[in-house]
Structure 1
Amino acid sequence: MVDMDISLLAVDTRIVLIPDGFPGQRMLVLPRPLVNEVFRMPGTPQLIVTDCGYFPRAQSHGKRRTTAIDEVVVIVCVDGAGWCETATGHFPVTRGQVLVLPPGHEHAYGADEDDPWTLWWFHAAGPELERFLERAGMTIENPVRRPHDPHRVATLLTEILQWAERDTTLPSLLAASGAAWHALTHLAASRTAADDTDELIEQSVQYLREHLAEPLSVSDLAASVALSTSHFSSLFKRHTGQPVLRYLTMLRMARARELLHITNWTIASIAAEVGFPDAFYFARQFKKVHGVSPRAYRG
């Protein structure tokens, strides 16, 4: 929820942050009774965009919340720079990065004094939102993300605002919510700005995708990025949510399903193509994952 009271916005005795009112800005705030009404409707989404906007070169922009809110705050910095503060520290935000502040926590954010940010932003609420953000690693400890495609994320926030500005009918609200979910899932797949080792893990993931037919070991992958096997394994699971070999099996099975659908290859040929020289072992692993044999899956 956007709080228009600036009496609590003094970061120190020298700096006063301004929540809105910038030349060229666009902003929409849904009436809270409408938000509550939408959540009570059967079949409505688990997420509603409550506020959204665009602030160009927002000199002195910022907000300090000493009372936690029930909404996620998402800020996409498309130019300039800014910062945020949480209970875990101070974090810079630069062009192409995204600030995600989960609900239920005090926080502060603002534009850089010398190079103020230009930003697209939205607030959203939903009953499962906090759990989703935690599972996706978008926590108060790591609030800054580096999306793989910052332009795509900014485009989605543009879409959110366009739908919100159109009207407050249910179809427009649903469309804005859909774009917000798309943005959040895109961010869930992105890296945190705090950990450059994620770049190494992403390289390893790409290597796995391109070498499914080859014998692969965790120790060899770790050595290729100059990490110990144990450290690499820990980072890999944190990045993907899966241990290395389970993730590799998941990739191989996905490719096997594709080949079963689009080719007439023998089961043995498909097994070899996805890194299983023993077709019988491949069939056992495939059934373990899918509940049916490769032959039955092909139909």
Structure 2
Amino acid sequence: MKIISDPAVLSEDFWGKRERPSGTGYTSRSVSHVKYYAYLTASSLYRKNLLYCDVVSRYRLLPRHRFWLIRPDFLSLRLCLDGSELVHYDGKKYRMEPGDLMIFRPFHDYEYATGEEGFCEKLSLTMKGTALPEILQNSGLSKIFYLKLNDVSFFASAHAQLEALLRTEGLPDLERCAGLCMELLQALSRRAPEMNCPQKLLEIRQYIEQHTLKEASLEKLSAEFGLSASGISHLFRKHLNCSVREYAIRSRMERARVLMLEQGFSCKEAASEIGYSNQFNFSSEFKKYYGKSPRDFMREVEPE
């Protein structure tokens, strides 16, 4: 995966003059140029499961393909096998290459398009279930969006088993589906950098997440944990692929989202709770992270 800094990439106004959809439900827009080898959806009976695979697909993106998902209510796992794909997720743009697995969390908008090669071979599956949020949180997968898989065989095997399961006629095997999904998430969790990072880094991360009111400067962290500023910066870059400041902002913005959506905080109250004395600065940072202002964000999720 490579970070894209060129502002021209994926910059075209995808919506044109049409009004962006409102409401709380999932919706999407596409310019579809894709060849499907397989596309299977789960029976409605699977919805009884605490965890289940909703869609399994194998496909090839063709030139000029483009897709935008708004408020998806599912976890999406997308593995690039060949070619490349351009992705816009959580305010940043990336180029997916062979072996790259994207982990798109529920209710996070994202956009993707065919890369420069003019094609992209993909394995993709989506998961749902009432237990999914807690599983993602406890596994460490809620904090990452990307894994580099040097060996994709375990993912390809799980994908093939889930595809075969959804092809099966008759009553669905609910326990088998949940088990395969859980095994795959556990396998990904073991490969997640957040689960394998040094103990000192885990302590610094926990400190940042528990002290959103305080500025997480390298100097303060260095004094608190007895490491050099350059050493701390290196730990974050090596294991989390971000700077200390980027991680602190992410922690603050995720906290703000929970405060407003789940605890009924106003924009001003959420800003104060996570340490922003200036509401304008908070709104600006929130828009950079989520792609929309706090007011627009809340307007979209409020019941009509």
State the TM-score, normalized to the length of structure 1. 0.52
State the shift of 1:80 in Å.
Answer: 1.3
Question: Could you say which residue in structure 2 is the equivalent of 1:95?
Answer: 98
SS in 2 for 1:53: strand
In 2: Cα distance, 1:119 partner to 1:65 partner:
17
The answer to whether the aligner puts 1:128 opposite 2:127 as a matched pair is no
AA at the equivalent of 2:127:
A
Please tell me whether the aligned partners of residues 140 and 192 of structure 2 are also in contact (alpha carbons under 8 angstroms).
no
AA at the equivalent of 1:74:
L
Per-residue displacement from partner, 1:36-90 (whole Å, max 9, x unpaired)?
3xx1xxxxx5211111110035444442012x12210111111111132222311
CA pair 138-111 structure 1, distance change in 2 beyond 3 A: farther
The answer to whether the aligner puts 1:179 opposite 2:180 as a matched pair is yes
SS in 1 for 2:141: coil
Per-residue displacement from partner, 1:101-127 (whole Å, max 9, x unpaired)?
111221222331424211111111011
Q: 2:113 aligns with which of 88, 110, 114?
A: 110
- How many residues are aligned here? 190
Question: Could you say which residue in structure 2 is the equivalent of 1:49?
Answer: 53
The answer to whether the aligner puts 1:34 opposite 2:36 as a matched pair is no
The answer to whether the aligner puts 1:64 opposite 2:68 as a matched pair is yes
Please tell me whether the aligned partners of residues 146 and 191 of structure 1 are also in contact (alpha carbons under 8 angstroms).
no
In 2: Cα distance, 1:134 partner to 1:19 partner:
33
In 2: Cα distance, 1:91 partner to 1:77 partner:
13
SS in 1 for 2:163: helix
Structure 2 unaligned spans of 5+? 1-9, 16-28, 199-226, 241-304
Please tell me whether the aligned partners of residues 39 and 58 of structure 2 are also in contact (alpha carbons under 8 angstroms).
yes
Q: 1:86 aligns with which of 81, 86, 89?
A: 89
CA pair 90-142 structure 1, distance change in 2 beyond 3 A: farther
Question: Could you say which residue in structure 2 is the equivalent of 1:12?
Answer: 12
SS in 1 for 2:79: strand
Q: Equivalences for 1:199-278 in 2 at 5 Å?
A: 231=232
SS in 1 for 2:165: helix
State the shift of 1:176 in Å.
Answer: 3.4
Question: More deviation in 181-190 or 142-151?
Answer: 142-151
Please tell me whether the aligned partners of residues 101 and 149 of structure 2 are also in contact (alpha carbons under 8 angstroms).
yes
% identity of equivalent residues: 13
SS in 2 for 1:25: strand
Q: 1:76 aligns with which of 72, 75, 79?
A: 79
Please tell me whether the aligned partners of residues 83 and 92 of structure 1 are also in contact (alpha carbons under 8 angstroms).
yes
In 2: Cα distance, 1:74 partner to 1:52 partner:
10
Question: Could you say which residue in structure 1 is the equivalent of 2:292?
Answer: none
SS in 2 for 1:56: strand
User: Using CA pairs below 8 Å that are at least 6 residues apart, which structure has the higher relative contact order?
Assistant: 2
AA at the equivalent of 1:186:
A
Q: Which has the larger radius of gyration?
A: 1
State the TM-score, normalized to the length of structure 2. 0.51
AA at the equivalent of 2:38:
R
In 1: Cα distance, 2:95 partner to 2:31 partner:
18
Structure 1 unaligned spans of 5+? 1-9, 40-44, 202-226, 240-299
Q: 1:137 aligns with which of 126, 137, 140?
A: 140
In 2: Cα distance, 1:176 partner to 1:65 partner:
25
State the shift of 1:27 in Å.
Answer: 0.4
CA pair 71-158 structure 1, distance change in 2 beyond 3 A: same
Question: Could you say which residue in structure 1 is the equivalent of 2:151?
Answer: 149
Please tell me whether the aligned partners of residues 78 and 154 of structure 1 are also in contact (alpha carbons under 8 angstroms).
no
SS in 1 for 2:88: strand
Please tell me whether the aligned partners of residues 57 and 117 of structure 1 are also in contact (alpha carbons under 8 angstroms).
yes
State the shift of 1:166 in Å.
Answer: 2.1
SS in 2 for 1:95: coil
